[in-house]
Structure 1
Amino acid sequence: MHTPQSAFRALADPTRRDILVMLRGRDLSIGEVAENFDMTRAAVKKHLTVLSDGGLITTVTRGRERISSLNPEGIAPVCDWFAFFEGFWDTRLAALKDAIEKDTE
């Protein structure tokens, strides 16, 4: 089961965020991802594993290659977590707006 914690862990690293952006355009093999970074294929595979564990990507085997794809539904736990605080910010920002408008009257 993917949790918000595993998704946040995956998103915490800038390299993994870059990989997600790359996968937004198309499915990629480990080698294709590795071409974009100054690191070994093994290091890229570790990043892909963390993204997979976070539910943010899926990986399938095609012949000898493992192809990674973006899993847009995987970001749902993160969005849900942020949505929990939406009311908090709406209330605070509305109060700030009211205070600013009172000061300018």
Structure 2
Amino acid sequence: MKINARRLAGAIVVPAVCALALSACGGAERPTADELSESIKNGKAGEVFNLPSSVPDEAVDCIAKGLVDSDVSDEALSNLMEGKDTTSEKADEKVLDEMSDDIQKCVTDALQQ
């Protein structure tokens, strides 16, 4: 199971980080982790992430919490909530690159439960 969990986690990390390289555009409010998680599971953010249905809700919750607690801009997270997949605030890209291990850990831990 560990090998499959790692493969799935790896397959999720790269697209998730790429999808989150969002641009900031205008004073939006920062979404909560619950709002972001719900949007990833059932809303417009889910269209950006395009996660497989086999990803447990616990993993999505962990990813959303990590993003909200990170230094990713409010605007980038708001864009994600709206399903916008645009690029390229350098500061956001750097934070997201640094988060790839955390995202992978969220998925791996959830799959091992």
Q: TM-score, normalised by structure 1?
A: 0.33
Greater share of strand residues, 1 or 2? 1
Which of structures 1 and 2 has the bigger CA Rg? 1
Q: TM-score, normalised by structure 2?
A: 0.32
Structure with the larger RCO, 1 or 2 (CA within 8 Å, 6+ apart): 2
